[in-house]
């Protein structure tokens, strides 16, 4: 009787144990990682196209849902309200606006500076020749984008402020349309829009970012996701570094379709302006974030001054 009771109890415990394992496995299999990205999110878009990240995460029982955004600010707004879990690279200005709005986000990777990956464009036959000529002009720019900070820095160099111009806050697509139809005098944007406009829309670079801004691009996660799934961030970080090395060392044959079927010459020109070296985020690397925040505060574009160091920073494992 003793052995019979023990056998039934052991079988019951074994069944419960197996059910527990099965439930855990099912829970892992049901995890969905929601990634937000933009057309300019080159490395993440390559991973999406090649399926590499999905293959690696599937081995951990994680599937991916992809969400495309027109610009960085709505992407980080979606991240803040937990509509997405991970943000592909956004310009260095965007997290500053998100932080000012009270977002609880974690920096987990960055691309090294690419100052010439954005520029102030004018028509090739425009009478505008210097930054000082921007005074009194209507200028298209995407709010909170890196190009927004470039415009602030360029105006400051010319001893101008936003009060001296008429800003038109437009998405890249709307900015292009306004530029093509002459509704704005200048357009501040980033690659691949810069090279495409030069080659297709008869645009001329009035000023690039060199000597004005660094233009780093950051990858972010919701802080909750970073705490719950550090192993997923570690895998994504490794994949991004490998993708960055690949796109730097090889012809950009995959980027044309990603960028709206741009021709090879335009892709190569745009690609040459980007740094795709993915590195960890350090406290020192956030120094320009503070300069950006202060510039937007002084321009009355942020409601209050923020401490750019008062953020969460994830570090990849040493191995």
**DSSP string over 28-73:** HHTEEEEEEE-TT-HHHHHHHHHTHHHHHHHTTTEEEEEEE-SSHH
Q: What pLDDT shows up at residue 21?
A: 44
Q: Is the pLDDT of residue 23 over 60?
A: no
pTM above 0.85, yes or no: no
Q: Is the pLDDT of residue 47 over 50?
A: yes
DSSP conformation class of 301: -
Lowest mean pLDDT among 28-37, 165-174, 268-277: 28-37
Q: What is the pLDDT of residues 201-251, one digit of tens each?
A: 999 999 999 999 999 999 999 999 999 999 999 999 999 999 998 887 765
The CATH number assigned to the domain with range 115-208 reads: 3.40.190.10
Decide which of 259 and 17 is more confident. Answer: 259
Lowest mean pLDDT among 37-51, 52-66, 127-141: 37-51
Q: What pLDDT shows up at residue 262?
A: 85
Every domain of the chain and the residues it spans = 25-113+216-313, 115-208
Q: What pLDDT shows up at residue 10?
A: 47
| Domain 25-113+216-313 in CATH 3.40.630.10 | no
Banded model confidence at residue 253, pLDDT cuts 50, 70, 90: low
Q: What is the mean pLDDT of the chain?
A: 88
Cβ-Cβ contacts under 8 Å for 209 (sequence gap 6 or more): 115, 116, 117, 118, 119, 150, 215
Q: Measured between alpha carbons, how far is 238 from 314 in angstroms, rounded to an integer?
A: 14
Q: Is the pLDDT of residue 27 over 70?
A: no
Strands 118-123 and 186-190, by their bridges, are: antiparallel
Q: What pLDDT shows up at residue 252?
A: 59
Q: What is the pLDDT of residues 141-195, one digit of tens each?
A: 998 889 999 999 999 999 999 999 999 999 999 999 999 999 999 999 999 999 9
Q: Measured between alpha carbons, how far is 3 from 26 in angstroms, rounded to an integer?
A: 34
Cis peptide before 227 (omega within 30 of 0): no
Q: What pLDDT shows up at residue 19?
A: 45
Q: What pLDDT shows up at residue 57?
A: 95
């Amino acid at each position: 009787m003793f052995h019979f009771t023990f056998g039934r109890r052991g079988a019951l415990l074994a069944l419960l144990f197996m059910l527990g394992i099965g439930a855990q496995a099912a829970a892992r299999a049901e995890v969905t990682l929601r990634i937000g990205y933009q057309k300019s999110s080159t490395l993440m878009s390559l991973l999406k196209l090649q399926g590499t990240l999905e293959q690696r995460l599937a081995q951990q029982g994680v599937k991916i849902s992809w969400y495309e955004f027109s610009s960085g600010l709505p992407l980080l707004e979606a991240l803040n309200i937990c509509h997405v879990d991970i943000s592909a690279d956004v310009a260095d200005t965007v997290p500053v606006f998100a932080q000012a709005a009270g977002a609880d986000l974690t920096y987990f990777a960055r691309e090294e500076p690419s100052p010439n990956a954005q520029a102030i464009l004018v028509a090739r036959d425009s009478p505008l020749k210097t930054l000082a000529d921007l005074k009194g002009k209507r200028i298209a720019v995407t709010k909170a984008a890196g190009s927004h900070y470039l415009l602030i820095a360029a105006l400051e160099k010319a001893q101008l402020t936003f009060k001296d111009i008429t800003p038109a806050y437009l998405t890249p697509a709307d900015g292009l349309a306004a530029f093509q139809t002459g509704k704005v005098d200048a357009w501040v944007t980033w690659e691949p829009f810069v090279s495409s406009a030069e080659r297709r829309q008869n645009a001329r670079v009035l000023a690039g970012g060199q000597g004005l801004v660094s233009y780093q691009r950051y990858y972010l996660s919701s802080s909750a996701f970073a705490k719950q799934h550090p192993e997923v961030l570690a895998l994504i970080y490794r994949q991004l570094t490998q993708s960055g090395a690949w796109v730097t060392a090889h012809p950009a044959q995959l980027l044309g379709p990603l960028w709206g079927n741009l021709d090879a010459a335009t892709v190569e020109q745009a690609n040459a302006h980007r740094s795709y070296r993915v590195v960890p985020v350090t406290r020192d690397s956030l120094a320009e974030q503070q300069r950006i925040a202060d510039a937007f505060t002084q321009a009355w574009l942020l409601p209050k001054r923020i401490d750019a160091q008062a953020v969460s920073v994830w570090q990849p494992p040493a191995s």
